[in-house]
Amino acid sequence: MKNSEILKQIITSRRSIFPKEYSEIPIPKEILDEILNSAVLAPNHKRTKPWRFKIFENNEKLELGKELQQIYKKITPEFQFLQKKYDDILFKAEKAGAIITIVVEFSELVPEWEEIAATAMAVQNMYLTCTAHQIGCYWSSPKLVNYLEKAVQIQENQQCLGLFYMGQL
């Protein structure tokens, strides 16, 4: 099969696959490394490499899930609070083999939109690498990520764009 055909097959089969579909099998470290290495190959103007990723596995991802639950409880008015949504936050963290925080760092060397676009391209590379390895994944961008300064150690010139959930199928 030609490279272009393989690439087309990977692109056309890329899907967002949610944690309820993930198995309990851990993602091998070599595959996680390959996913991140493919991300940093994304094009970026003036080589700013604006993406910042942090992997949460095992107990760390559970702690992240619990922190997201606390944030949800804190910022959601009582009349809008949904127990199912609250429970789903931790369920997704438990089912995921890994969660990667997606953060953009603004360099002031190029317009902010270019650094957001470069970060999104890095995430697309992660999606495609996951697809090639039959790893389920999706990019979640709930408003809760705007409150993750402590867990992700967000700096003033950074913004969390979401969470990238991954799991073996």
Spatial distance between the Cα atoms of 45 and 43, rounded to a whole number of angstroms: 7
What pLDDT does 24 receive? 85
At residue 151, the pLDDT reads 77
Residue 59: half-sphere exposure toward Cβ, Cα within 13 Å? 0
Six token digits for residue 49 = 């490499």
In this predicted structure, what is the pLDDT of residue 57?
96
Q: Which one, of 10, 46, 5, 28, lies nearest residue 125 by Cα? A: 10
Strands 135-140 and 51-56: unpaired
Q: Which helix (H) or strand (E) holds 105?
A: strand 98-105
Give which of 10, 56, 27 is closest to 168, Cα–Cα: 27
| Start-to-end Cα distance in the chain | 25
pLDDT, position 150: 77
The ranges of the chain with pLDDT < 70 are: none
pLDDT in tens, 53-90: 999 999 999 999 999 999 999 999 999 999 999 999 99
pLDDT of the residue at 97: 98
Residue 136, number of CB atoms within 10 A of its CB: 24
CA–CA–CA angle 90, 95, 100 (5° rounding): 80
CA neighbor of 129 nearest in space, from 24, 47, 13: 13
**Distance (Å, rounded) from C-alpha 102 to C-alpha 122?**
10
